[in-house]
Amino acid sequence: MTLKQQIHNLVDERPDNSPLLTEVRETLRMNHAIGEAMEDVREGRTYGGEEFLAKVQERWPRKTSA
């Protein structure tokens, strides 16, 4: 039996609301997000700290007291 078949069987044996399935889903989601972030870094799609703060402040300026 291949690893893929073993994983498939493990998933099939669990109920839909299994905490294990929830954990697996979240782990896969996080790994995917990390992979996308790493690709952004490799491709130069990142901001330095100062540039990031400027963009945030431009979009959401601080309100001054009247």
Domain segments of the chain as ranges? 16-66
- Predicted pLDDT at 66: 61
Alpha helices by DSSP H, the chain: 3-13, 19-42, 49-59
Per-residue confidence (pLDDT) for residue 64, from 0 to 100: 75
Q: Which of 44, 65, 45, 62 is nearest to 54 (CA)?
A: 62
Q: Which are the contacts of 40, defined by CB distance < 8 A and separation ≥ 6?
A: 46
- What pTM was computed for the model? 0.66
The stretches in the chain having pLDDT less than 50 are none
- Rounded distance, CA 34 to CA 54, Å? 25
The pLDDT, as a whole number, for residue 61 is: 92
For position 42, what pLDDT does the model report?
A: 97
